[in-house]
Chain A
């Protein structure tokens, strides 16, 4: 799950126990052998439904995730950072297209997904409901939010669904520049003037809790992940991805002399696990259900783009073209 999206809502699909037992056994044996599932293969209803939801939410997260950084392109300090940020934002929108395509192979057309995004029916990564007030916020996103996404994406690229894995492999290659660019921007601020350091520190203070939410509710709160892990829809649990990210990036933040607003945060050398203050999961639920600082703005921007771009789509429409499910 990219950013532990809407994992509280139960999914509507046929119970795997009601599936044809022979087909189900063959399907599970294939995954067990480490083979990928391709679009025309038989698959349980729950597998399809879960993948559509997950890939679709991931795609929406790329589109909406482009917005907080996108607003900083014109104000990014220096020409090279403008170029880089523009390229990064373009990559993110490209990622959305790759992911929509992967979800489409499972039978849900792209327009239907975009409709569900706009109507609020389908969710996106909660972290993008928070505002990027300063350039340092944008740098935080490029470095650390992307780092979180990479942990998820690298794991999920080992998943069982062929088109999703292929899209993620391509995405992961493109992400390496985002991460390095983001880190570079953060280093610049953290080693700069007192005002720059302060700006960076304030961004970390603002984004820390949304970032802890990013990986989704703790494993003890999430239900029904066993089947999804067995079918390799999910590869790592929410806690595993959170731990990986903490392990890779907290030392890098501390290295720059910056602090993290959680005085419980430390690595327990005995267990090898990070300990932290549990973020407020009620806030997470509230924001994901629409009541965050930027939810309305984010969707309004999408709606505006949809509305203002409509004449273009009408103008290029081919009269007798018709849509079929793409191949792979």
Chain B
């Protein structure tokens, strides 16, 4: 075994850590689904999940995970079990074909997300007022644009989401300044050319 090279571990005795076997059950935090708005005029889209103890913390983790590198104009987080998932349909068949449209709305605001193509993310389709997730789909069929076949829908109560507010947006103001994270910031060709020219001269 070679000498440990990590400078941090000259302060710590890393080989003393004793974890053998499974970590405690309690370490398994629940998951939150994260929806991101890339730019003002866009639409919210599912980006993935984070593990967190609650939805505010989920937002903090989501901010690091999903808005670190790209532009961002808003984030929604919601605990996974709070999303009602419709069945998946086959291509060209819309899940709404099996739903009875309803003009009668309810009291609870629901957000609806649609997946239009396998392999693509769920995107925000709109808000409806209904009494249950199933009812929300019925209202959505009448109220939202369902002209393209929807392969899968997610439905969740608006009150279960954590949403960033207008004032929160300034946390993303510095993103464009961080050019050291852009490939375009690393140009090396001029140096290579100079090096090659120099070499040709001497050889």
- A residues sitting closer than 8 Å to B (CB atoms) are 35-38, 40-41, 67, 70-71, 74-75, 80, 83-84, 87, 90-91, 94, 97-98, 101, 104, 109-112, 114-115, 118-119, 131-133, 162, 165-167, 170, 173-174, 176-177, 179-181, 183-184, 187-188, 190-191, 255-257, 293-294, 296-297, 300-301, 303-304, 306-308, 310, 313-314, 316-318, 321-328
Contact = CB atoms under 8 A, between A and B. Distances in A.
Contacts of A170: 47-48
Contact of B65 (A94, A256, A304, A326): A94
B8 A71 contact: yes
Interface stretch (B133-141, B160-168, B191-199): B191-199
Interface string B1-33: 110111111001011011111110011111101
> Which 8 pairs show the lowest CB-CB distances between chains A and B?
A36-B119, A303-B17, A180-B186, A184-B186, A191-B195, A187-B188, A318-B53, A180-B183
A98 B34 CA distance: 12
Given A165-B119, A306-B17, A183 B9 contact: no
B68 interface: yes
Contacts, number: 186
A257 B6 contact: no
Interface stretch (B80-88, B99-107, B124-132, B142-150): B80-88
B194 A318 contact: no
B182 interface: yes
A28 B131 CA distance: 40
Contact of B27 (A87, A111, A132, A183): A111
Nearest to B119: A36
A162 B118 contact: yes
Name the residue among A35, A71, A183, A297 with the largest chain B CB count within 10 angstroms.
A297
Nearest to A86: B180
Interface of B: 1-2, 4-9, 12, 14-15, 17-23, 26-31, 33, 46-54, 57, 64-65, 68-69, 79-81, 83, 85, 88, 91, 118-119, 121-122, 152, 154, 178, 180-188, 191-192, 194-196, 199
A294 B68 contact: no
Contacts of A74: 7
A184 B5 CA distance: 24
Contact of A326 (B33, B91, B184): B33
B21 A256 contact: no
24 contacts: A71-B5, A91-B69, A104-B49, A109-B28, A111-B27, A115-B22, A118-B19, A118-B23, A170-B47, A170-B48, A180-B185, A183-B186, A188-B188, A190-B195, A191-B192, A255-B192, A257-B199, A294-B2, A308-B17, A317-B26, A317-B53, A321-B29, A323-B29, A327-B33
A37 B118 CA distance: 7
B186 A316 contact: no
A97 B85 contact: no
A15 B108 CA distance: 48
A104 B14 contact: no
Given A301-B14, A304-B14, A327-B85, A132 B5 contact: yes
Contact of B181 (A87, A179, A297): A87
B30 A328 contact: no
Given A98-B48, A300-B15, A318-B30, A87 B180 contact: yes
A237 B35 CA distance: 35
Contact of A90 (B5, B68, B88): B68
B50 A97 contact: yes
B53 A321 contact: yes
Contacts of B17: 300, 303-304, 306-308
A153 to B, nearest CB: 15
B106 to A, nearest CB: 24
Nearest to B70: A173
A109 B30 CA distance: 10
Contact of B154 (A71, A183, A327): A327
Given A90-B68, A301-B14, A328-B122, 6 more contacts: A35-B91, A306-B17, A307-B19, A308-B17, A316-B57, A327-B80
Given A191-B191, A306-B23, A300 B14 contact: yes
B188 A38 contact: no
Contacts of A40: 85, 88
Name the residue among B5, B22, B194 with the largest chain A CB count within 10 angstroms.
B5
B31 A326 contact: yes
Given A84-B180, A191-B194, A300-B14, A67 B154 contact: no
A110 B153 CA distance: 26
Contacts of A296: 1, 15
Given A177-B181, A187-B192, A327-B154, A301 B6 contact: yes
Contacts of B85: 40, 327
